């Protein structure tokens, strides 16, 4: 028996990067973790959790965290929502702002499946909304979870190609508007290139776009201090949401904690759709301690920036081309023929070095390499020199 609705049957789920078992001896430069450990204060917060805090339900809205995050960013707590990783904020935004389209039942198997694969491509003969209307805008290439979230919600997807250098096309907002998008996701610094889009361009984009612009700042901590979009919120922009994650900047990928900031009317709508107790008591405590010990995290950001420059120089001197990155990874094209990246990825994997290769247009000739420790980089370069 097949009980899932056709959309889910046909869905190709998001594939996270490989996560080898703890303790395995690999050089892990594939999922953009911060190479340095979280602050001692965070570990103390985790160890200080009491039986009573676990026995009882957690504060449903993470009020203590919201207050600390608001103070840090110069916003009141109604501008902030805490989520179970940044991914939950992305899902909530799609749920709240994008319109699901109806698919008729009883069309499973062959024809139904091929029709439903058309979600987001305009091939939706049964939908009651015009193509794109009510849906999600994205700029490609980008985080491959975005289209999956649109598909799960049965909402149209409007992908617009970034320029060749991954800068924003001048007509980006117009194309999202023409398609009737109610929400758009833009990751800045861009993934997987690392490019930082100037805040002035983000401001223009938000001004021109008629829906909600979610700026995914998962990697912002590794960029320059003035690269973030929070000034737009402080200036009163009502259609901008800013996503932050503790996964990379605070070395807490294992904790699953992100947060969103935006106009209180947007935040209130997101609260309505989240699970009642979406972030647990331990995570609330640890995340609060992480923001309160931000200076410790900041030292890791500086170390990552230095290692990034060193690694970029090292691979460039070996003939690779590397884009300037404001993130904790580099998108790098090896010298030689354009099909070489995949083979290198596989050879490195056999050598115990994980990097990321994306089987996508404009990315197949490159590798995305997370910035690691100096020792990780030495291991990578040794392997590359042996392979060459």
- Kindly identify the residues of this chain, within the stretch 72-111, that bind its own copies according to CB under 8 A: 84-85, 87-88, 91, 95-105
Decide whether 96 or 131 has the Cβ nearer to its own copies: 96
The CB-of-109 to its own copies minimum distance in angstroms stands at 15
Note whether 129 binds its own copies by CB under 8 A: yes
Decide whether 194 or 211 has the Cβ nearer to its own copies: 211
Which stretches within the chain are classed as H helix? Answer: 6-10, 40-47, 51-55, 63-73, 86-97, 109-116, 145-152, 172-178, 199-208, 230-234, 264-273, 281-292, 294-316, 340-350, 374-387
Note whether 259 binds its own copies by CB under 8 A: no
Q: What is the DSSP letter of 315?
A: H
The candidate with the shortest Cα–Cα distance to 135, out of 115, 117, 150, is 150
Q: How many residues bind its own copies (CB under 8 A)?
A: 91
Residues 326/227, Cβ–Cβ less than 8 Å: yes
Rounded Cα–Cα distance for residues 334 and 158 (Å): 31
Place of tokens 């984009």: 205
Note whether 123 binds its own copies by CB under 8 A: no
Decide whether 180 or 189 has the Cβ nearer to its own copies: 180
Decide whether 244 or 333 has the Cβ nearer to its own copies: 244
Of residues 26-45, those binding its own copies (CB under 8 A): 28, 31, 33-34, 36-38, 42-43
Selected binder of its own copies within 26, 46, 203, 208 (CB under 8 A): 46
The CB-of-85 to its own copies minimum distance in angstroms stands at 6
The CB-of-67 to its own copies minimum distance in angstroms stands at 13
Decide whether 129 or 323 has the Cβ nearer to its own copies: 129
Question: Within a 10 A sphere around the Cβ of 299, how many other Cβ atoms?
Answer: 11
Decide whether 18 or 388 has the Cβ nearer to its own copies: 18
Q: Is the torsion defined by CA of 146, 152, 155, 158 positive or negative?
A: positive
The CB-of-360 to its own copies minimum distance in angstroms stands at 18
CA angle 328, 331, 332 (to 5 degrees): 130
Decide whether 334 or 372 has the Cβ nearer to its own copies: 372
Beta pairing class for 258-262 and 240-245? antiparallel
Note whether 276 binds its own copies by CB under 8 A: yes
Residues 294/98, Cβ–Cβ less than 8 Å: no
Rounded Cα–Cα distance for residues 71 and 81 (Å): 14
The candidate with the shortest Cα–Cα distance to 199, out of 218, 186, 210, 212, is 186
Segment interacting with its own copies, rule: CB under 8 A, options 69-77, 121-129, 196-204, 312-320: 121-129
The candidate with the shortest Cα–Cα distance to 74, out of 261, 219, 267, is 261
3-state class (DSSP) for residue 187: strand
Q: What is the DSSP letter of 222?
A: G
Decide whether 181 or 341 has the Cβ nearer to its own copies: 181
Q: What is the DSSP letter of 101?
A: P
Token pair for 28 = 């892990």
Rounded Cα–Cα distance for residues 263 and 214 (Å): 12
| Helix or strand holding residue 151 (H, E) | helix 145-152
Residues 98/271, Cβ–Cβ less than 8 Å: no
Segment interacting with its own copies, rule: CB under 8 A, options 151-159, 222-230, 309-317, 324-332: 151-159
Decide whether 22 or 164 has the Cβ nearer to its own copies: 22
The radius of gyration of the chain from alpha carbons, rounded to an integer in Å, stands at 21
Note whether 236 binds its own copies by CB under 8 A: no
Of residues 50-69, those binding its own copies (CB under 8 A): 51-60
Of residues 277-296, those binding its own copies (CB under 8 A): 277-283, 286
Note whether 304 binds its own copies by CB under 8 A: no
Of residues 310-369, those binding its own copies (CB under 8 A): none
The CB-of-76 to its own copies minimum distance in angstroms stands at 19
Note whether 307 binds its own copies by CB under 8 A: no
Note whether 221 binds its own copies by CB under 8 A: no
Whole-angstrom CA distances from 143 to 192, 323, 359 are: 7, 17, 13
Note whether 207 binds its own copies by CB under 8 A: no
Note whether 22 binds its own copies by CB under 8 A: yes
Decide whether 248 or 377 has the Cβ nearer to its own copies: 248
């Amino acid at each position: 028996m097949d009980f899932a609705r056709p959309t889910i049957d046909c869905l190709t789920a998001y594939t996270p990067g490989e996560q080898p078992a703890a303790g395995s001896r690999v050089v892990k430069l594939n999922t953009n973790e911060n190479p340095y450990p979280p602050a001692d204060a965070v570990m103390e917060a985790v160890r200080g959790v009491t039986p009573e805090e676990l026995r009882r339900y957690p504060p449903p809205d993470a009020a203590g965290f919201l207050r600390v995050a608001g103070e840090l960013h110069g916003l009141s707590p109604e501008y902030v929502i805490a989520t179970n990783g940044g991914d939950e904020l992305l899902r909530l935004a799609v749920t709240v702002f994008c319109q699901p389209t109806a698919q008729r039942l009883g069309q499973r198997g062959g024809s139904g499946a091929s029709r439903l694969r058309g979600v987001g491509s305009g091939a939706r003969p049964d939908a009651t909304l015009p193509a794109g209307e009510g849906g999600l805008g994205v700029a490609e290439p980008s985080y491959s979870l975005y289209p999956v979230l649109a598909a799960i919600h049965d909402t149209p997807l409007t992908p617009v190609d970034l320029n060749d250098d991954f800068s924003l096309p001048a007509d980006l907002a117009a194309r999202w508007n023409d398609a009737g998008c109610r929400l758009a996701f833009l990751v800045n610094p861009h993934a997987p290139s690392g490019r930082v889009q100037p805040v002035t361009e983000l401001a223009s984009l938000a001004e021109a776009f008629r829906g909600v612009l979610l700026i995914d700042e998962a990697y912002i901590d590794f960029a320059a201090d003035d690269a973030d979009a929070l000034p737009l919120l402080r200036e009163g922009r009502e259609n901008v949401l800013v996503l932050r994650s503790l996964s990379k900047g605070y070395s807490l990928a294992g904790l699953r904690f992100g947060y969103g900031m935006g106009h209180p009317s947007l935040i209130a709508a997101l609260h309505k759709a989240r699970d009642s107790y979406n972030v647990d008591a331990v995570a609330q405590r640890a995340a609060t301690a992480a923001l309160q010990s931000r200076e410790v995290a900041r030292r890791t950001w500086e170390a990552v920036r230095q290692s990034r420059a060193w690694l970029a120089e090292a691979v460039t001197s070996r003939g690779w081309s590397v884009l300037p990155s404001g993130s904790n990874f580099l998108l790098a094209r090896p010298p030689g023929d354009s099909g070489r990246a995949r083979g290198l990825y596989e050879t490195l994997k056999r050598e115990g070095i994980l990097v990321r290769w994306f089987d996508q247009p404009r990315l197949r000739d490159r590798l995305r390499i997370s910035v690691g420790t100096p020792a990780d980089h030495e291991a990578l370069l040794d392997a590359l020199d042996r392979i060459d």
